[in-house]
Amino acid sequence: MNPNVRPVHYNIHLYPDLTTFKFKGTEEVLLRVVEPARAIEFNGLEMKVLSAAVTVGGAVWPVKGVSENAEKEAFVVELEKEVPVGEAVLKLEFEGEINDKLAGFYRSRYEYNGQSYYLGTTQFEPCDARRAFPCWDEPACKARFSITMTVQKDLTALSNMPIKSETTEGDLKTCVFDVTPVMSTYLVAYCVGHFEYLETTTEEGIKFRVYTVPGKKELGRFALDVGAKTISFFAKYYGIEYPLPKQDMIAVPDFSFGAMENWGLITYRETALLCDESSSFVAKSRVAYVVGHELAHQWFGNLVTMEWWKELWLNEGFATFMGTKAVDHLFPQWQVWTKFLNDHVFRALRVDALRSSHPIEVDISVARKVDEIFDAISYAKGASVILMIESALGEEPFRKGLNIYLNRFKYGNAHTEDLWQGLTEGSGKKVSNIMDPWVKKIGYPVVTVEETGQPGKLKITQNRYLAAGDVKPEENETIWPILLGVSTQSHPDIKYVELNTKEAVIDVDVSSNTEWIKLNAGQTGLYRVQYSAALFKRLGDNLSALSARDRAGLQNDAFALAIAGSISVVDYLELVSKFTEETNDTVWSDIFANLAVVRKLFDSPSMEKFVLKLVSKIGGELGWSGKPGEDESRSSLRGSVIATLGAVGDVAVIEEAKKRWTAFLSDKNSLPADLQSGVFYLVAKNGGEAEINQMIEVYKTSTLPAQKVTALRSIGSSRNPELIKKGLEYMMSEEVRMQDRFILLAALASSKVGRDICWDYVKQNWSLLEVKISHNLLPRIISYTCEDFSTPEKAKEVEDFFSQHKVHGTERTIAQTIESINSNTAIHSRNVAQVSKYLEQFN
Ligand SMILES: [Zn+2]
């Protein structure tokens, strides 16, 4: 946008019509004219500007004309003569559509008492406020907003602020909302529809509500309780009161992402907000985390906002980290910092191991391009880097630094450097020196550790880690500042050693030279560790002495090193075979995920036996029924163990799953939620058309959002080509919401037979998919269908197809997908002979 004028205050009056799905609006923007202006430019997309008028000091300033620049997603009001520096008012009338694109002002459909209804809602981040009203749609163009809505009188209208006054005339009512604080356009929100709500008040007296479509409010009780406590937690943690007089959270049936942190009116996908006491641990912990994440943004992101999308990670990395902190505070028994490894750190390490990754801070010239960086790098790597800095500074200095930063920039915008400055002042340590390479450079290191022959002295080397395993010198120039956590058999308390060079010899506390030594102890660092063969074996033989986090880290590093070819897949399997005594759900969940990858590449009956032998002990201990008062995490582990046992052909487990399914069909309360995912999957995988139809019925009729998703995913578990094709047809039918189509596709493409069928389908129906899948979800369609292929022919096919079918905004995903296929191909050919020989012993 031309910086000659800046918005100060928007007065917006909207007239949405939920029968024609059109809206009209009038807008008066108080502008600060910074330089004499002959033209006023603002953003607007897929709307009509019906009239424009300008006044200066109350006097009409003649307008020459209004023109649209569709490419810039903007309009220009040309003036007869220059507006001088000072204040001016721009008055506009406009109209647009309540669309089906899950972006801008859009509609969402739901059923109630057998009838279909629509509600209207908004999704503006990153740059779709311009679809809903004319605006300066950039995060740094902060202004106040006075919003008024005229709607059918039986509907509820919500916005960022509480309603100040309401008047009725005929069938319509007009709701005037209080003026907002100074804020960015992407955080403005409004909803209109038939809603119901639950209400509470936080400890500090903030009115707090959870809204749903009719019939669902009771499913919001858990989120209401968690949310109110989380607001109080953050107010204390940040040392700054919650900035608005109210907070609403609303579950929207059609929603593209997980949730959106609109200030004072957070919107959610139903699965991210609604659950009940009977819901699975996975469903409940997701709700608690997403609520924590969005509420963290109310300060970090909303009160203080990144200057431009290039620093998106500041918002997302931080909210991811803080969301976890809030859940840990409310539910210490859940051990979410261990789970954080799986959900965020390992995920970041996986994506950032590709050449087609990007630095955390990435140049974004056009706002539209930011869609593709709402990715694992911004969220997961961002959060992992923040965990690293907190552990380097200490919790309290970190919190103090954060408070300095938020107070300094409140109601304004800030850069990454500003956060480092705050943290430096809070801790007395120069933070930018430590953090810059982690934020500005692509990738991360693998630390190689060898014994020197002298007791207590280790040789350490750091190099860039790439999944492809072929790092070139020019890709290996970064020296990462590493705070190396070390723990040893005789001195298990973690000691930190600073590593600021490519190579070093470090001292470690050991009493003998046969001790185990764990590096990255506590797993707060974002790097891999490769041990000498002797050190690696010693750790594998002493798993019970390590913490769950360290066991998870050791195993995940070994898997990554096998991917890169630094060790063999057999070395990895040998380590994993020592985990038979494991009891931690996070550790198992990562082992299951990694073994699923290994099984995709080396699928064979002997591989299934290997997994069966590994899991049988914990499977026997957990059985099918929980003990009274057992941990939720243990109950959740039971579900995934059963799914794994059944997946590798445990006949007794499959039979029991079928029995439980039959019982479930006649009594929906008979199957504990934690078992549902495993049972549904095994029944669909081993059943026929009848079971798939039953699954579709559960999907259609279930009132529990998480159970619906579980059923949908299970529809995709069949290995029968005809049923896979039927699944694809179902995916595109009106019964599956656009936001959920990729969930079914991911399941359908998870087997070898399914992958080929899905890929054929995607190729043949690409133009249909472009219409039926919203633009921001297309990257997932590409990666879920193709990333597990493992031959050079497929890599070429994918490359050729997408070079002929270009979609703006999917370039990075395509590059990452092709790189994954090439990596799979290399792992397979390098290991196939050795793996089958190793697995023979399990026959
Ligand atoms: Zn977020």
Cα 93 to ligand 1 centroid, rounded to whole Å: 33
Q: Tell me, what amino acid is at 372?
A: E
Number of residues in the chain = 843
Distance 346 CA to ligand 1 centre (A): 19
> And the tokens for 735?
């019964």
Distances (CA, A) of 84 to 34, 61, 88, 195: 9, 11, 9, 47
For 381, phi then psi, to 5°, come to -70, -40
Whether the bond between 792 and the residue before it is cis, its omega within 30 degrees of 0, is no
Determine the distance from the C-alpha atom of residue 604 to the mean position of all C-alpha atoms in its chain, rounded to a whole number: 33
- Chosen CATH of 300-440 out of 3.20.20.60, 1.10.390.10, 3.40.470.10, 1.10.260.40: 1.10.390.10
Pairing of strands 528-531, 445-451: parallel
Question: What is the rounded distance in angstroms from the CA atom of residue 809 to the CA atom of residue 822?
Answer: 22
**Shared fold status for 1-194 and 300-440:** no
- Using CB atoms within 10 Å of the CB of residue 342, give its burial: 0 to 12 exposed, 13 to 18 middle, 19+ buried: middle
812 alpha carbon – ligand 1 mean position (Å): 21
Topology of domain 1-194 in CATH is Immunoglobulin-like (2.60.40)
pLDDT of residue 67: 97
Q: Tell me how far apart the alpha carbons of residues 446 and 303 are, in angstroms, rounded to a whole number.
A: 37
178, 162 Cβ separation under 8 angstroms:
yes
Tell me, letter by letter, the H, E, C secondary structure of 714-741: HHCCCCCHHHHHHHHHHHHCCCCCHHHH
Query: What is the spatial distance between Cα 656 and Cα 431, in angstroms, rounded to a whole number?
Result: 56
Consult the annotation and say whether 297 binds a ligand: yes
Q: Is 41 a catalytic residue?
A: no
Q: Are 151 and 193 in contact (CB under 8 A)?
A: no
Per-residue model confidence (pLDDT) at position 486: 97
Structure tokens at 201: 């008040």
pLDDT along the chain (843 residues), means of 10: 92 97 98 96 97 96 96 96 97 97 95 95 96 97 98 98 98 98 98 98 97 97 98 97 97 94 98 93 96 98 95 93 98 96 96 92 80 84 96 96 98 96 96 92 97 92 96 96 96 95 96 94 97 97 98 98 97 98 96 96 94 96 92 94 97 98 96 96 97 97 93 97 97 93 96 96 94 84 95 96 89 92 95 95 75
Rounded Cα distance, 317 and 347, in Å: 13
Domain spans in the chain, listed from the N-terminal domain onward: 1-194, 300-440
Expressed in percent and rounded to 5, the helix, strand and coil fractions of the chain are: 45, 25, 30
In angstroms, the CA 155 to CA 195 distance is 8
Q: For the beta carbon of residue 365, count every other beta carbon within 10 angstroms.
A: 8
> What pLDDT is attached to residue 722?
97
* Element of type H or E holding 837: helix 811-840
**Exactly one of 125, 294, 311, 656 is catalytic; which is it?**
294
Query: Locate tokens 């019906």: which residue?
Result: 50
Task: Identify the burial level of 534 via C-beta atoms within 10 angstroms of its C-beta, where 0-12 means exposed, 13-18 middle and 19 or more buried.
Answer: exposed
Spatial distance between the Cα atoms of 516 and 506, rounded to a whole number of angstroms: 16
Alpha carbons 247 and 231: distance in angstroms, whole number: 9
φ, ψ of residue 357 to 5 degrees: the values are -70, -175
pLDDT recorded at residue 843 = 66
- Rounded Cα distance between 377 and 779, Å, is 15
Ligand 1 center from residue 321 Cα (angstroms): 10
Q: Which residue has the tokens 């539209």?
A: 368
438 Cα–ligand 1 center, Å: 20
- Calpha distance 78→66 (Å, rounded): 6
* 293 is known to lie in a ligand binding site: yes
CA of 273 to the centre of ligand 1 (A): 14
Q: Which of 422, 424, 394, 395 is nearest to 409 (CA)?
A: 422
Give CA–CA dist 815/763, Å, rounded: 17
